[in-house]
Amino acid sequence: MTCDRTFVTVTLLLATAAAAVTGDDEISPTTTVNQPGPASKVVKIVALFHENDDSVNQLAYNVSTRIVNIMDTVLPKNKIVQRSEYVVNDMYNVTRIVCESMKLGIAAFIGGTDDEEIENVIRSMSSRAQIPFIETHWKTSDRPPDEYAVNLYPDPSLLSKAIRDIILDMDWESFTVIYESPMSLIRLKDLLMHFDYGQRAPGKAIRIIQMSPVEDFRPMFKELKSFGEKHIILDYGIEHIVHILEQADEVHFMGDYQSFVITNLDAHTLTFEEFHKSMANITLIRLIDPESQHVRNAVDEIVFNEQKNGRISVLTPNTLKTKTALIYDAVNFFAASLHGLVATQTMGPTRISCDDIKPWVHGYSLINYMRVMELNGLTGKMRFDGVTGNRNYFKVDVVKVHESKKHRLGSWDPSEGMTLTRSVSEIYSEIAQSITNKTFVVVGKLVQPYLMKCNATEKGIDEDEECFEGFAYELVAEMAKYNGFKFKFTTNEDYGSQNLKTGKWNGMIGELQSMRADLAICDLTITFDRRTAVDFTTPFMTLGISILYAKPEKKKPQLFWFLNPLSFSVWMYTATAYLGVSLFLFMLARMTPFEWEIPHPIKPGDDTLENSMTLLNCLWFSIGSVLCAGCEILPKAVSTRLVAGMWWFFALIMTSSYTANLTASITSGRLDTPIKNVDDLSKDSDIQYGCYEEGSTAAFFQKSNLSLYQRMWSVMESSNPTVFTKSNQEGVDRVLKGKGRYAFLMESSSIEYQTERNCNLMQIGNTLDSKGYGIAMPMNSPYRTLISESVLRLQESGFMRELKDKWWKGVNKCEEEEESEELGFTKIGGVFVVLVLGCLIAFVFSILEFLWNIRKVAIEEEITPKEALILEWKFAMKCDGGVKPLRRRHNTSTEYESNNSDTS
């Protein structure tokens, strides 16, 4: 029944505070605060306290009665005479005191004890006598409604809903409940039912731990820290809470990421000064608002009453307990109910004997009036259930402790639910202030260009400290400069994978979960599994999976490369067409009469016809048309012109096609690779492909629902030797060594970095998916919003683009080696060869023609071939003159002799 005692203690404390508010004189159990005047009717009430109860509760009870009697507007015709009784855990003693009280003729009992058994005795006897019983502690047992009882303490079922809504508003999906007794679970019933504890709870990491307050909590907090637990719900008496938190602080379980919710309604009376340097989030709930003027006036009355009697009171609005306030409210509640009842009927108490209990005739009317009325007390507005008498309306304040100061975050009530009173800007400003001068532990993986070690001496850093540089380092440094925090880098060579049996993560994700690191940054992809374990900022880089492949070796250009635009068969068909058309044109020219004409110049008596379309001329005409050179010999007949037109059309198309293909072949710089995309890669059995075995790329193929990727994953898994690598760099090296026999699947940003620095590598195809790199941090990190906003700011300012260019394009080696668009001699050398060969052949024919002409000249001139060669060679070597004399010396001398003989 520890839980019962806890609730009763709370109730007693509230009663004590209420008594303190009244500021009454020194009071004994039978002391009457105010003696009624002769015209006033006396109404007696009895409050029962435990013998070990706080005296402040009784003080509040008496002071509240005095204030009611002073204020004539409350009970102008009645005066309340209060009586206090102390009871012990002796049922006979309790029964005797109750019977003695009823003999006095009382109008109500006020319960000031925390003992459920004592309360049950009082409730039973008051019900028989039909005397209203005003309770001030929460019910720890599920009992049938008592028609003559009304409870000022919040209904436990509604209080349980309040705690549930507060936890849900904090977005807690996992937490650990640490409680003192089983009865404490009544306050957490709705919360546990919401998470289906015992069914789906293991997946949400919900733990429930019962521990005695005298036990050592440190081992438990160490274990929770190793599990990565950050959310704790404490349900203990206020005398134990600070001691428990001190033990948590001793094992460093009061950091930035730990959050504590304390369900005790008196936790607001604690100072928490010893935790002013702690960054843990401590959240409290309370019924009493210390800023309320009603609360301040009540406390001032109690302090004044103590000073009047020569005593010093340390009571303040911030230390007023719930039990004290409820006892104070109980007297006012009774007075207000009595005021409403006496306004409609005459009422007077009746002396009742336990030997022969006769019900009080006005008790039924009074209790019904109590259940339908509303009252604003020290614990806020009160409203009650008409059947059970439980308080079904109350307002709970949600308070956050920051640097030992309490800040009201919002409130909860049954009708409105959770209502936040602090604006988003105020919360953001508080977080921004807390991040200043904080030192973040940043974990990263040594991978180029994100994080690399540097020379400490060159950077001006102490040699004992580790020196880092890279994209990730400069990104964090820029954010630290803007937000005013400090940072320290550590390394971990694993991204992190989850152990399916234990649910724990290793690598960088594991360090974040165990809170050994505050941030993790490198080429860390945001995935669903990782997102369930840690938080991520807005992606600072978007990318996708692509294929890294080795560039094919460059082939030496062929000598007759200019023949490539047309295939060998097309060249053969074109040559055949050329010969066929030339012969066909020659045949038609001989058949048609319109190609035969009188030779020019016309000789007298010559009646022969001449045809210019000889076989050689037809061949020349056809080749001239193809080469767009034209020809002085043209067909004249319709048939031959029709053939010539068709040949010109054919030559136009072939020449244009050749020119277009030649241009494309010259300007195209693409390499001929065996694969163009991932589909080609999956079909090519000669090329192996793989990826980093523990990265997000492997997870993508493993969990993909597309048949293509599933098939590729099966091939990778069954490959022997394995195609998986221990790192991305190992995959890059394997691609280079494979020389086209191995392709590596990795993120496009890493491929871009590798291809910028190694001209033997290239990216194949488009990206297979779309994802991003983000900065990881522990789940529900309070700094997530600030870091995400810093990432967005740097992206908008262009800093991120400049930073990437710096580390990705720092060395432009490949741009210098790119092939020029200008044509080299290696590509067009074949054209020169053709030209030279044509010239050589022409020269050979020229020699043959020259020698043939020497023979003719030697015969006709009747000289020796040597003489003819010398004469023709001398003439040919003369570069001037375009007239050549006709050599006919033999004919000339014979003609000369004949003329001489005729003359003689």
657 is in an annotated binding site: no
For the chain, what's the residue count? 904
What type of residue is 469? E
Q: Is the peptide bond before 156 cis (omega within 30 degrees of 0)?
A: no
**Distance (Å) of CA 617 to CA 109, 631, 644, 843:** 138, 9, 13, 21
Side-chain-facing half-sphere of 885: CA atoms under 13 Å: 8
Classify residue 362 by burial, with Cβ atoms within 10 Å: 0-12, 13-18, 19+: buried
383 is in an annotated binding site: no
Side-chain-facing half-sphere of 703: CA atoms under 13 Å: 10
697 is in an annotated binding site: yes
User: What are φ and ψ of residue 442, in 5° steps?
Assistant: -110, 125
Nearest to 338 by CA among 590, 565, 78: 78
Distance, in Å, from the CA atom of 184 to the CA atom of 192, rounded to the nearest integer, reads 12
Distance, in Å, from the CA atom of 126 to the CA atom of 109, rounded to the nearest integer, reads 8
696 is in an annotated binding site: yes
User: What are φ and ψ of residue 399, in 5° steps?
Assistant: -125, 135
Q: Is the peptide bond before 144 cis (omega within 30 degrees of 0)?
A: no
Distance, in Å, from the CA atom of 592 to the CA atom of 612, rounded to the nearest integer, reads 13
Q: Token pair 């016309």 is at which residue?
A: 602
Give me the residues paired with residue 762 across strands: 549
Distance, in Å, from the CA atom of 109 to the CA atom of 49, rounded to the nearest integer, reads 11
Q: What is the DSSP letter of 726?
A: S
Dihedral over Cα of 829, 831, 833, 839: its sign = negative
| CB neighbour list of residue 834: distance below 8 Å, 6 or more residues apart | none
**Distance (Å) of CA 102 to CA 34, 94, 594:** 20, 13, 152
Helix (H) or strand (E) holding 468: strand 468-469
Helices (DSSP H) in 488-567: which residue ranges? Answer: 507-513, 528-533
Q: Is 105 left (phi over 0), alpha (psi -120 to 50) or beta?
A: left
Where would I find the beta strands (DSSP E) of 339-492? 375-377, 380-384, 391-393, 396-402, 405-413, 417-420, 439-444, 452-453, 468-469, 486-491
**Distance (Å) of CA 781 to CA 172, 434, 528:** 12, 13, 18
Helix (H) or strand (E) holding 44: strand 41-50
List the structure tokens of 306. 């103590």
Do the beta carbons of residue 680 and residue 771 sit within 8 Å?
no
Supply angle C-alpha 453, 727, 527, rounded to 5.
100
What type of residue is 366? L
First to last CA, the chain: 176
Helix (H, G, I), strand (E, B) or coil at 564: coil
Nearest to 11 by CA among 236, 335, 321: 321
List the structure tokens of 690. 């793989």
Distance, in Å, from the CA atom of 294 to the CA atom of 225, rounded to the nearest integer, reads 43
| CB neighbour list of residue 95: distance below 8 Å, 6 or more residues apart | 121, 125, 354
How many CB atoms within 10 Å of residue 532? 10
Do the beta carbons of residue 136 and residue 330 sit within 8 Å?
yes
**Distance (Å) of CA 135 to CA 109, 118, 324:** 8, 12, 13
What type of residue is 524? L
Q: Which residues are annotated as a binding site?
A: 525, 530, 696-697, 747
Q: Which residues are annotated as a binding site for L-glutamate?
A: 525, 530, 696-697, 747
